[in-house]
Amino acid sequence: MKIKIFCDSADLKVIKRFNNDSLVSGFTTNPSLMRLAGAKNYKNYSLKLLSKCKKKPISLEVFADTSDHMLKQAYIINSWGKNVYVKIPVVNSKGYFSGKVINTLSKNGIKLNITAVYTVSQVRKIIKNINKNSKTIISIFSGRMSDVGKDPVPIIKKSVSLTKKLKNVEILWASTREAYNYLQAKNCGCSIITMPSAIIEKISKFGKTYQELTLDTVKKFLNDSKKSNFKI
């Protein structure tokens, strides 16, 4: 099964670069990435991103914390472009499931990316609240699970199994930490993996032999020691 690679970034230069790269099929952003990129005005900055990415799907997230405000923001964000997926957190900051928001937007045919998903139970709830004819991405934060010593693979596999008959629903491997996650996501049957630009670049090294890796490593150590003019 072929897996799509999305670039997880809100950096204008990165978006512009990978928008012209056939390896990358789309983009994901979030408020934290927006802040990191220096965004001051959310709408203005989002429109700048969309000026660099006019056709490939790009996820833009609401940052409201109540259902009514999420809905209001979602409709506005959706109006910014046909390639926009509106990103909705699976729960708000108080832990309340965003079912009303997901259900309402999905019924209205708005493309959604449900984010910050960690459990099969959350996936089941999402499935119950979506319009099966409307496009939906479910972003499972595999890397953050690994960060706290939990194995994301069983959850990913079960989520893929639950959605395999839903042609408009895609499971996305999120919070990618290393290039090997690409192979894990592919083997699990994910439709998409999103990753930072630095990890996308590492994928180009796939296929190198252990001997080539050994030489690359030793040469880097040697070059760095020469540049630093180390002496003993």
| Residues 94-110: b if buried by 16+ CB within 10 A, e if exposed | eeeebbebbebbbeeeb
What residues does 88 pair with on adjacent strands? Answer: 114
**Cα(5)–Cα(195) distance, integer angstroms:** 8
Kindly report the pTM of this predicted structure: 0.94
Unique residue bearing structure tokens 């390896």: 23
Q: Are 120 and 155 in contact (CB under 8 A)?
A: yes
- Percent of the chain residues topping a pLDDT of 70: 100
Predicted local confidence at residue 1, as pLDDT: 66
Kindly give the pairing relationship between strand 58-61 and strand 24-28. parallel
Domain spans, the chain:
4-207
> In order along the chain (232 residues), what is the average pLDDT of each group of 10 residues?
94 97 97 98 98 97 98 98 98 98 98 98 98 97 97 98 97 97 97 97 89 95 96 94
CATH C-level class of 4-207: alpha beta
Helices within 20-149 (DSSP H only): 31-36, 42-52, 67-78, 99-107, 120-129, 142-147
**Cα(144)–Cα(177) distance, integer angstroms:** 9
Predicted local confidence at residue 204, as pLDDT: 78
Predicted local confidence at residue 87, as pLDDT: 98
Predicted local confidence at residue 205, as pLDDT: 80
